[in-house]
Amino acid sequence: MLKLRFRNMVGEDLPMKELLSVSRGVGVSISIKKVKDYEALIDIDDLTKAINVFSRLVLIREVTDDYGIEIYRRRRQLSNDPGKPHLDTDIAMLMLNLAGVVQGDAVLDPFSGVGTISAVARHLDINVVSIDISSGFTDARGDATLLPIRQGSLDAIVTDPPFNRLHTVDSRLDHIYHQFLLEASITLKPCGRLSFVYPSYLSEYVEDALMETDLDLYAYGVQYINDAFSRVIMTLTKDGNKCPMMYS
């Protein structure tokens, strides 16, 4: 039996959801014996493969065996460029993990910006097609509210949509989120996942838009930034109630 300790950075739900998503993707069977606070006891069928799972997790802190001997401790693998404001590489990795993406999946980032998500995905040998309304760091130029993608063709969408940095919401931003979520619902395969981040002050707009889709909540966490700002990390599954394996 192994004891896992997790990082306290986005709430208690995401660590186990990240573990389950990644382990399923690499074909490792995990039996969860106990979960309390930010710790878990698990049995695992293949320790060598388990290390491969642990090395990909963002929210893991350390893993010890029955005797308390450390067998894995997380070390940050990717760094951020302090000269460029962009999505933190840990958050990008976390979203990819929650989406359960593996090599060969059809994955899209429709708000690619400077390309952080696709860069992190390359570290995992996963190809992400990047689209943005400006084409500086993208594979193609395009509008995320009118995706040039076939219906039901994507395994996952992983992205960081734009938000008003003045912390106010206007009709244009409302429209972007509404149309983006509708497009995601159309272009994902059944049981495909959407993983994205957004500022908490946009929660009402996101929740209203989701009412018009067939996307079901898989994982939800909040990253506290400061007293005035926090971000929601959300992962949704298309027709999630038909995908019981996703909800162990």
Q: So what's the pLDDT on residue 134?
A: 62
The structure's pTM equals 0.88
192 and 238 in contact (C-beta within 8 Å)? Answer: yes
Q: So what's the pLDDT on residue 164?
A: 58
Strand 39-44's sheet: what is its strand order?
Answer: 30-36, 39-44, 2-6, 60-64, 70-73
Q: Is 162 exposed, middle or buried (0-12, 13-18, 19+ CB in 10 A)?
A: middle
CATH numbers and ranges of domains, the chain: 2-73 (3.30.70), 89-247 (3.40.50.150)
Per-residue pLDDT for the chain (248 aa), expressed as one digit of tens each? 899 999 998 888 899 999 999 998 888 888 888 898 899 999 988 888 899 999 999 999 999 998 999 999 998 777 666 555 567 899 999 999 999 999 999 999 999 888 899 999 998 899 998 887 665 555 555 555 556 678 889 999 999 998 754 444 555 777 888 889 999 999 999 999 999 999 888 898 899 999 999 999 999 999 888 887 889 999 999 987 777 554 44
143: nearest Cα among 161, 170, 156, 158: 161
196: nearest Cα among 162, 167, 146, 164: 162
Distance CA 57, CA 90 (A): 9
Q: So what's the pLDDT on residue 247?
A: 40
